[in-house]
Amino acid sequence: MPSTFPVFDPASPQAESIRDLFVQVLFISAAIFAIVSGLICIALVKFRESETLPAQDFGSHKKEIAWILGPVIVVIWIAAISIKLVLTVNALPPQYAKGESASDNDVDIFITGHQWWWEVDYADSGIVSANEIHIPTGKKLRVKLQSHDVIHSFWVPQLSRKMDAIPGHSNYIWLEANSPGVYQGRCAEYCGTQHAWMNFQVIAHDPADFASWQQKEQKVAPTPTTGQAAAGAELFMKLTCSQCHAIEGTDAKEDFAPNLTHLASRRELAAGAIAYSPENLRTWLANPQAIKPGCKMPNFKLSDEHLDQLVAYLETLR
């Protein structure tokens, strides 16, 4: 169940710092607003019918010091908590601080924005996935954000700061979750027709569960040799599917479109446009443009027989 007010329901140290800064600045501003508007109201009521000016007070050092010191303390306080926040969320690799060019050695996950889906590459395990990011809890993962085409913005309100994915320029964020759960992420920068359906989920597991997910994900489903599924596998290579998608253990190796190696164990299709189910997969293949108009997946005008075969094959990709 996604959080209704995710910004107030942080699940990582970074998101907690952002919430704390927001709430503190909100209360400080509210207090100043209340004092100023309260004084204005008092003056309006108390002096509205008086003929003469109220008593004027010139050259009071005490009062001058008070109204200079007050705002200075408030500004220093806000600056201090802002600097603390910046230090907490800053995920630049250490080489940057030394003025060296960054290497990818410190990166745990590479995330690339595409129109309109997210590619997820795990540095250590070599796993490639799409629109679903599995992480272990309690570990600070350095994410390198890139874009394949236009500017996107990676945002998981409960976990992290928002960060743009820019073509030709890499950005870094920490991805970390305090407790297991599913955290909704979105593209937060208008990037074309299907910007609204460029969603993803971060799924945080206990370290032991993450290890078993990783093991499962590194295995590749055997290519079916009999029945509908085998016909579907053949069709997948014969049609142009394999010119955009990759499936580990087959000749399909392109990364223009989402990697389908474990498609059937994903929770959603088409970057969150519909839930994953064999029925929805069939509807999607029958006419992707009806579900996500403008997306890069064409309508292949497949026959019912071909649709059944492809769905039977893709369902084996677990």
Interaction site with ligand CUA (CB under 6 A): 113, 116, 152, 187, 189-191, 195, 198
> CB of residue 150 vs ligand CUA: minimum separation in angstroms?
7
Strands (E), 78-231: 109-114, 117-122, 128-130, 132-136, 141-147, 152-155, 163-165, 171-175, 181-187, 200-205
Give CA–CA dist 85/233, Å, rounded.
Answer: 51
∠60-61-62 over CA atoms, to 5°? 95
Closest to ligand CUA by CB, 186 vs 262, is 186
> CB of residue 227 vs ligand CUA: minimum separation in angstroms?
39
Closest to ligand CUA by CB, 140 vs 169, is 169
Give CA–CA dist 211/154, Å, rounded.
Answer: 25
Closest to ligand CUA by CB, 181 vs 192, is 192
> CB of residue 189 vs ligand CUA: minimum separation in angstroms?
5
Chain-centroid distance, C-alpha 54: 58
The values of phi and psi at residue 30, to 5°, are -65, -40
Closest to ligand CUA by CB, 144 vs 205, is 144
Closest to ligand CUA by CB, 85 vs 120, is 120
> CB of residue 111 vs ligand CUA: minimum separation in angstroms?
12
Closest to ligand CUA by CB, 195 vs 296, is 195
> CB of residue 191 vs ligand CUA: minimum separation in angstroms?
3
Nearest to 127 by CA among 270, 259, 276, 254: 259
Closest to ligand CUA by CB, 152 vs 292, is 152
> CB of residue 119 vs ligand CUA: minimum separation in angstroms?
12
Cβ density class 260-270: b for 16+ within 10 Å, e for less: bbbbbebebbb
Q: How many CA atoms lie within 13 A of 24 on its CB side?
A: 15
- Outline where 90-142 has alpha helix (H): 94-97
> CB of residue 296 vs ligand CUA: minimum separation in angstroms?
13
Nearest to 108 by CA among 87, 127, 85: 127
- For 281-284, the CB contacts below 8 A with 24+ separation are 281/311, 281/314, 281/315, 282/307, 282/308, 282/311
Closest to ligand CUA by CB, 27 vs 190, is 190
Q: How many CA atoms lie within 13 A of 304 on its CB side?
A: 0
> CB of residue 99 vs ligand CUA: minimum separation in angstroms?
32
